[in-house]
Structure 1
Amino acid sequence: MRPAQLKAFHAVATWGGFSRAAKKLGLSQPAVSDHVRKLEETYGVQLFIRAQKSVSLTALGRQLFVLSEKIAGAEAEARDLLSRARGLKEGQLTIGADAAVHVLPLLSRFQDKYPGMNLKVVSGNSDTLLSRLEAFDIDFAVIGRKVSSAIFETRLLSSSGLAAFVSEGHPLSGKARVTFSQLVATPLVLREKGSATRQLFEDALAARNLAPVRAVEVEGREAAREAVVQGLGAGIVSRSEFQADERLTMIEIDGWQAEMSEWLVCLKSRAGLHMTAALLELVDES
C-alpha cells in the first residue's frame, strides 16, 4: 500500500466523491481514481459502491476510513512535533472562517508573536467548516454558532446583533425599523443552508409562524451582499459584519434580540498540539 493511495481513499471517503477529492488534493480526477482502484486491486477488495453520481463506502471501506482518520490525525501530530522542535519558527496554520473579519485581529497578534508561521484563511459556511475540521483539512474553524459536540474545543470570539439590509431604492430603504411581517412581505436574499445567520433568521420566523413570500438563495457572504446591491431582495447580516456602503442601508428588526456569536473551534484531540495551543492561548489572554 502506498501512502498516496490511502490518502486518495481518505479524501474520497471524506468528501463523498472523486471530483471533490481531486480538487482538495490538487490532483486530477483520473489520478485519484487510479490510486483508489490500485488500492482495491492490490488487496482484491471493494472499498466504494460506485453509482452514476455518487459513491458510498462499503462495510470494509467504513472500517478502513476509521483507520485512515487516525493516520491523518497522526500526521498532524507529527507536523506539530517538528514545528515545536523549531519553536514555531516555521509551519502553517489553516483557519476556516465564514467571515474573516472576526478572526483577523487574532491572526494579526499571532503573526506578531510567531512571524515565521504561515497563516492560511479559507472560506465556507458553518456546516462546511466543521466537516473540514473533522477531516483534518483545517486547524480551526470560526463559525457563527456554538457547537456542543464533545469532540470540539471552543472559544468565544465576539457577539453582535442581527439586522436587515437593503439597497437604495428598495421599498423599505427609507425606514429605520421594520417588523418581521413587513420584512417577509418583500423578496429576501438568504444564504445557503448551513449558514448560521440564515438559521437564526429562519428560527425567528418559525417562532412567529411567518414565511417569506419569495426568497433567493445565494451561496457565500459576498455573493449575498452583491445580490442585495443588485436589488434582488433584503438580506440579513450581523451588525459587526455590515460594511458601510452608500448603495446599502441597514434596518433594525423590531423585537429581534438574537445575537450572532462567533466561535473559534478546533478538535479537542488537537487542542494540546503546540500550534493549536498557541492560538488558543492568545484567545484566553484577550
Structure 2
Amino acid sequence: MNLFQLRAFDAVSREGSFTRAARRLCISQPAVTGHIKALEERYDLVLFRRTARNAELTPQGQALAELTGPLFGLVEQAEDLLEANRNLVSGRIEIAVDSPHIAMPLLARLRERHPGIVVGLILGNAAETREALLAERASVAFLTEAEAHPDLHLEEIAVSRICAVLARSHPLAQRASLDLAGLDGAAMVLREPNSVTRRTFDRACRARRVAPTVLMELDSREAVIEAAAAGIGIGIVSSLECGDDGRIAALRIDGADLTNRHAIACLARRRNLRLIRAVFALATDSAKSEGAGSDR
C-alpha cells in the first residue's frame, strides 16, 4: 500500500477538488491526479466522480474516506506533537465561518501575532459551516446557535441581537428602536428560512403572533442589506453584521428571544493541537476583553 497515494486521496476527499488538494499538500495538481489514478488502477475501482467543478466520492471512495480521515488526522496530531516546541512561525489553518463579521477581527489579530500563518476561509450558512468542521475540511469554525455534539468542542465568544435595517428614507428610520409587534403586516426582506437569524426572528414572531409580509427571501445578509437600502422593505440581520453603511438605519427590535449566541468550535479530539489552541486563545481573550456576554 502506497501512503503517498492514500494521502493524496484523503486530501481530495476532504477538499472535494484536485486543485485544492494539491494546494493542501504543497504538490502539483498533476501529481495528485497521478496518485489517485495509480491507486484506482492498482485496486481496480473508481474513487471519485469528476464533475466540472468538484470531485465527488463514489460509494467505494466514501468507505475509504471514513478510514483515511481518522488515519491522517492522527498523523497531523503526531506532527504537531513532535513540533510542540517550535514557535508558530509558519503553517496553514482552514477556518469555516457563518458570520465573517465575527471572524475578521480575530483573523486580523492572528495575522498580527503570527504573520507566517496562512488562513483558508470557508464561508457558508450555519449548517454548511458545521458540516465543514465535522468533515474535517476546516480545523476551526465560528458557529451561530451551535448545538452540542459529542465530536465537537465549543466555547461561546459572543451574543448578538436581531436588528432591523431600513432605508434612511423609511418612515420608521428615525426611531431609536422598534417593537416586534409593530412589524405585524410590515413589508420585509428576509434571509432564507434555514438561516439562523431568520429562524430566531420567525420563532419570536410566532410567540407574539406577529405576521410580517415577506416580499423577498434572500440567500445572504449582504443581499438583505442591499434590498433594505433600496427601500424594498425592512430587513433583519444580526447586530454584529450591520456595519457602517450610510444608506441604512439599524434599529434594535424590542422583544424577548431575539438574541443569538456565537461560538468557536473544533473537533474535540483536535482541541490540543498547537495552532488550534492559538486561535481559541485569541478568540476567548477577545471575548473577555469586549464583554461578549451582553447582547449588542
What TM-score bracket applies, with the shorter chain setting the length? 0.7 to 0.9
Note if 1:103 corresponds to 2:99: no
For 1:21, the aligned partner's letter is S
Shift of residue 79 of structure 1? 5.1
Of residues 14, 18, 21, the one that matches 2:17 is: 21
Match of 2:77 in 1: 77
Three-state SS of the structure 1 residue aligned to 2:84 is helix
Three-state SS of the structure 2 residue aligned to 1:136 is coil
Deviations along 1:167-199, whole A, 9 cap, x unmatched?
133354354414346255313231x45532122
Stretch moving more, 150-159 or 212-221:
212-221
For 1:186, the aligned partner's letter is A
Q: Is the 8 A contact 2:188 2:215 kept in 1?
A: yes
Match of 2:221 in 1: 221
Three-state SS of the structure 2 residue aligned to 1:88 is coil
Match of 1:189 in 2: 190
Unaligned runs of 5+ in 1: none
Shift of residue 11 of structure 1? 6.4
Deviations along 1:14-36, whole A, 9 cap, x unmatched?
57xxxx63574479x99988876
With structure 2 as the length reference, what TM-score do the two structures score? 0.74
Q: Any residues of structure 2 matched to 1:266-281 within 5 Å, and which?
A: 266-281=266-281
Q: Is the 8 A contact 1:124 1:220 kept in 2?
A: no
Q: 1:206–1:42: structure 2 CA closer, same or farther, 3 Å change rule?
A: farther
Shift of residue 141 of structure 1? 0.8
Shift of residue 247 of structure 1? 1.1
Stretch moving more, 66-75 or 258-267:
66-75
Match of 1:164 in 2: 164
Q: Is the 8 A contact 2:11 2:21 kept in 1?
A: yes
Q: 1:55–1:123: structure 2 CA closer, same or farther, 3 Å change rule?
A: closer
Unaligned runs of 5+ in 2: 24-28, 289-296
Q: Is the 8 A contact 2:189 2:218 kept in 1?
A: no
Q: Is the 8 A contact 1:165 1:237 kept in 2?
A: yes
Q: Is the 8 A contact 2:126 2:195 kept in 1?
A: yes
Q: 1:72–1:230: structure 2 CA closer, same or farther, 3 Å change rule?
A: farther
Q: 1:138–1:79: structure 2 CA closer, same or farther, 3 Å change rule?
A: farther
Match of 1:260 in 2: 260
Q: Any residues of structure 2 matched to 1:127-206 within 5 Å, and which?
A: 127-170=127-170, 172-175=172-175, 176-180=177-181, 182=183, 184-190=185-191, 192=192, 194-206=194-206
Distance (Å, rounded) in 1 between the aligned partners of 2:114 and 2:215: 45
Q: Any residues of structure 2 matched to 1:233-248 within 5 Å, and which?
A: 233-248=233-248
Stretch moving more, 247-256 or 133-142:
247-256
Match of 1:123 in 2: 123
Three-state SS of the structure 2 residue aligned to 1:235 is strand
Task: Give the CA RMSD over aligned residues.
Answer: 3.8
Distance (Å, rounded) in 2 between the aligned partners of 1:36 and 1:184: 57
